[in-house]
Amino acid sequence: MIKELIIDSSPNGATIALLQDKQLVELHKEQNTNNYTVGDLYLGRIKKIMPSLNAAFVDVGYEKDAFLHYLDLGPQVQSLLKLTKQVRSGGYQSKLLDNFKLEADINKGGKISDVLSKGVLVPVQIAKEPISTKGPRLSSDLSIAGRYVVLVPFSEVISISKKIKSNTERNRLRKVVESIKPKHFGVIIRTVSEGKGVDELQKDLLDLISKWEVFVTKLHGTEPSRKVLGEIGRTSTILRDILNPDFQHIYTNDQGMYEEIRSYIHEISPEMEGIVRLHKHKEPLFEHHGIDKQIKGAFGKTVNLAGGAYLVIEHTEALHVIDVNSGNRTANKENQEENAYQVNKEAAKEIARQLRLRDMGGIVVVDFIDMHKPTNRKELFDYLKAQMADDRAKHTILPPSKFGLIQITRQRVRPEMNIVTSEICPACNGTGTIRPTVLLLDDIENNFNFILEEQNEKNITLCVHPYIEAYIKKGIFNRQMKWYFKYNQWIKVKTNPAYQLTEFHFFSGKDEEIKL
């Protein structure tokens, strides 16, 4: 599988497209004005305790208070509160936790009012970006993610990704991390750590420790409700999480972004630094790589599939519904079951892509075409799971119900990607109505009076739709001839097939458009 990353940079931010075998599978927008990215660390101030929800509303500077549930506090929240108080008062000078005495874990079934109170300052991490009318979702179980490992303060636990199956490799990684991790820090070993040496793991861990030291240093003087430590940009996050030897090219159209990406890749994977390319063509970056066309075809209510089938995707506040239709696909009457199975497999592949592309989260209900054979339903279910294996968002797929519906839950941490693919009609400007065609020539002649008599233009050309040109030139004593006698000069009439029926423009003798 060949992967490419295309980054279209603009003054307002960047749009990031991930291609697999030239097909668009992920689209992200990184806005310069977005201060609430998943992973950012803030110094929050408790605004209100809600005992009925066992949660608190926290001021992190957003227009709406953020939400912090008791279950998201983390077992070592008392240690975090203690460290925060000591650092801000100047009573704790060390940046690591070697000399710090940990507090006891909180009770999993406890009450938030026993831990937090109004006005308390607590470091929090953005777990979900603001979505719709809701503020950010927070967690005080802090973690700092790197390429190979994740650093978890106030813990001694070493966790290993379940995707690493080899017991030998798991034991090796555990021993390596145990030998290099600092005291009172837990570590989560990521899947990409498999096969990596001590030097690479240690370098990644040291980078995370330095970030923690920056966090502790800034914690002393940061104003409440302000950001203490920001997550790396969306581009770097994607590279950190998915960069592998399958990547062939990374294209960007911005010199600064080009240098930044090369520098970041040089740090995490020096041998791949050469895949970064700076786009220098006059043609826009996304248009050059065919991404604009794919975006127009992939977003919207209806998504067409190659075999003639299509998907209808409806969105609501609580869930997403996807209906699979066979469309004009030729069905073999003698084998409708096989035809339904093939259409459903084709749809399952596209659905897995659509979930990643639109970043659809929450509950997704898919209505596949009915199949009667249990073996076909089982194979479709397994095929859908296999297609979604590359999806980095946490998800769960339930087997088909007795109604033939498959339910999917997918983690939602940021707003869904929504792109309007329809365009305003150039003829009516979105009103649904146009000026009466019988008045078209009157409009043209009114403009002639202004251009020829008041502006005294010479040798002008009228450019119209081919149908209108044919009408103007029809007959011997036609409209063009009448204009010659009326205005005492010959008016050229040219056509442009791209024009709408009632569209017309005037050009001067120098072939410059006359603005009206």
Q: What is the pLDDT of residue 49?
A: 95
The helix (H) or strand (E) run that includes residue 453 is: none
Greatest CA separation for the chain: 102
**pLDDT tens, position by position, 389-440:** 988 888 999 998 878 899 999 987 777 766 666 667 767 777 777 777 778 8
Residue 367, exposed/middle/buried by CB under 10 A (0-12, 13-18, 19+)? middle
pLDDT tens for the chain, residues 1 to 516: 788 999 888 777 788 899 988 899 988 887 766 677 888 899 999 999 999 999 999 999 998 999 999 999 999 999 999 999 999 988 888 888 988 999 999 998 899 999 999 999 999 999 988 887 788 999 999 999 988 999 999 999 999 999 899 999 999 999 999 999 999 999 999 988 998 889 889 999 999 999 999 999 999 889 999 999 887 776 777 788 778 778 889 999 988 888 888 888 888 888 888 899 999 888 889 989 999 888 888 888 888 888 788 999 998 877 899 999 987 665 555 588 888 899 999 999 999 999 998 888 889 999 999 888 899 999 999 999 999 998 888 899 999 887 889 999 998 777 776 666 666 776 777 777 777 777 888 889 888 888 888 788 888 999 999 999 999 999 888 999 999 998 888 999 999 887 888 889 999 888 888 887
| Listed residue (257, 218, 233) closest to 37, CA to CA | 233
At residue 480, φ and ψ (nearest 5 deg) are -65, -40
Q: What is the pLDDT of residue 502?
A: 86
Residue 307 has a pLDDT of 76
DSSP state of 311: E
Residue 165: partners with Cβ closer than 8 Å, 6 or more residues away:
none
CB count within 10 Å of CB 84 equals 19
Domain boundaries, the chain: 3-34+233-291, 44-226, 301-410, 437-514
Predicted confidence at residue 448, as pLDDT, reads: 87
∠ CA 41-47-52, nearest 5°, is: 105
Element (H, E) at 292: helix 291-298
Q: Is residue 207 within 8 Å of residue 184, measured between CB atoms?
A: no
Q: Is 304 exposed, middle or buried (0-12, 13-18, 19+ CB in 10 A)?
A: middle
Helix (H) or strand (E) holding 451: none
List all residues 6 or more positions away from 514 whose beta carbon is below 8 Å from its beta carbon: 451, 455, 457, 460, 505, 506, 507, 508
How does DSSP assign 361-427, residue by residue?
-EEEEEEPPP---HHHHHHHHHHHHHHTTT--S-EEEPPP-TTSEEEEEE---SPPP--------TT
Strand 23-31 with 405-410, pairing: unpaired
- pLDDT reported for residue 328: 67
**What are the residues whose beta carbons fall under 8 Å from the beta carbon of 183, sequence distance 6 or more?**
96, 97, 98
Q: Do 396 and 385 contact (CB within 8 A), yes or no?
A: no
In this predicted model, what pLDDT tens digit does every residue of 304-328 receive, in sequence order? 888 788 999 998 877 899 999 987 6
Q: Quickly name the fold that domain 3-34+233-291 has.
A: Nucleotidyltransferase; domain 5 (3.30.420)
How far is the C-alpha of 41 from the C-alpha of 143, rounded, in Å? 9
- What pLDDT was estimated at residue 441? 87
Contacts 24+ apart (CB under 8 A), 51-59: 51/111, 51/112, 51/113, 54/111, 54/112, 55/112, 56/112, 56/116, 58/122, 58/124, 58/138, 59/224, 59/225
What three-state secondary structure class fits 1? coil
CA–CA distance, 50 with 70 (Å, rounded to integer) = 10
Distance CA 426, CA 452 (A): 27
